[in-house]
Amino acid sequence: MKNFENKRSCTRFKAPFCFDCRYPGSREILAGALGDISFKGACLLIDSQTDFSIEEALSLSLIFPEDTLDIKAKVVWQKKAGDKSKVGVSFLNLSDSFKDNIYDSVFKHHRSEITSKWWDF
């Protein structure tokens, strides 16, 4: 069995909010749901196969019930699962107010994710 090192420096919350994203050189808009999210990045679940380059920049819109956050992110990993994709992204220059919006949305709509991981902060 392989021993994997956890490189995540922030607590991740399972909060299946929607997103859409664009990447340079394409007019296509990809949509999907978040597998998880933290203050530094997210796992994007996409219903089609994608072929991003590692370090590729994306324009990402996180769609919360009360707000939409438009942010920049870079691809750090990707996995294909049949006709779907999982893509790990790292947020670029995320402001403190956007971090507050992420926390507030997770707390309001997926409160148990915050309370069950309180000591991980």
Q: Tens digits of per-residue pLDDT, 37-86?
A: 999 999 999 998 888 889 999 999 999 999 999 999 999 999 998 899 99
| Percentage, residues of the chain above pLDDT 90 | 60
At residue 6 the predicted structure's pLDDT band, cuts being 50, 70 and 90, is very low
Q: Which CATH superfamily does the domain covering 18-105 fall into? A: predicted glycosyltransferase like domains (2.40.10.220)
- Are 69 and 61 in contact, with CB atoms under 8 Å apart? yes
The pLDDT assigned to 27 comes to 83
113: phi then psi, degrees, rounded to nearest 5: -65, -35
Round to whole Å and give the CA distance between 67 and 60: 14
Beta strand segments in the chain, E: 18-22, 30-37, 41-46, 57-63, 68-81, 84-92
